[in-house]
A and B are shown apart, each in its own frame.
Chain A
């Protein structure tokens, strides 16, 4: 299959690009070809320190298959060590030391798309894992087919579970990481979003609108046009002032589909 990728991101209004604490991977790639492709977005928690680094470590590890699908918290250990090494290698002020001691937190949403043409009928599947409130939405035939892990805008109000950069920080592993599977067909689109945009997206569809069509108009104008679009939503109070990340994946099967 060929996957065509567009990514857009923005820090909170009033913050610099340096202060953007979401992460996504792959970066700076517009198309990928393969039988098994992975994508990920993550949202580093603002209250903690060094969350940006933690979010980046998570998305890269997932996409480079250092994490299985679904993964266990034990698999995060090497990443937690990398985080600790990077953070403790620095000369820290007393207040930064206090922050580091409580660890960094991040959501993670990982998507794997597969196309298996070994059998008679080509199987086109997807699997996803999620911890926290970063979401994926699958659009098929101009409709929302699936939304994961949250499926309605009202679900964004609670404080999400997040992955900690400290081993053993999670008290209860049960239900921390959710998993989902599905199938895809030619011309399907996947939108991977961090919480603010995902909440807006689902709310629009609850109002009977098609946010994916709106975003299509915006994306032709590139990052600048995306920036204007987000600024307007924030001004109108439609979008929470938070870091925003959107990764859109369009798919083209390598063989004409029978399905």
Chain B
């Protein structure tokens, strides 16, 4: 299997001795335009790839922040078609870093899995993360995604037993997303040390990069996670930062927040990340 743009982004970060940073933004929060400006702003601030959230009416893996941003975006009339058009706009504006759609299965099914993957790939999206699609249900989307060169990124949890980890690693593309805690998304003061053990097991089953998400909110979290993982996903804390002030300056706050977070991304030589 050749290395796609997502894996390459992690590889580039590793060469620069940095922990890759993958911000999550909900398309349409606070407005479609502001969310797209925020994507560009976090790229300027050093993001290595961006997850574009497709809003869903019943986001059952999300805590209050992303429930709010998702609900708000639906109120703005955001649909999967608008998300696809948004990705195309970002590419037309020259955004180079990989883009990943993150959402829930039903809007994709409703759009048509094949049609959705065609349109997503066409728009310049590189991968998909689906929060309610465990590996045994992922077959139809996986084959539709693979046909168009989209990486279907697997999620693994602290509760995943090793055979499930092995299966997800075997089927996974792009990177492996390890959920750091038992619970929904949302910024936490402390985050679980147990995820280190999960990442170690994942490494035994794949050479794909490993990113950790859920609960990450500070540069210190990034530094700590960078000791054992290749990247971090940060969503709720970023959206909290965007919420905290006027809509017009939400992209600036997103940029400032990611710059602050990226202070934790520099790695000492000899870290234990991928390939080392």
Whether A associates with B in a native complex is no
Residues of chain A having any CB pair with chain B under 8 Å: none
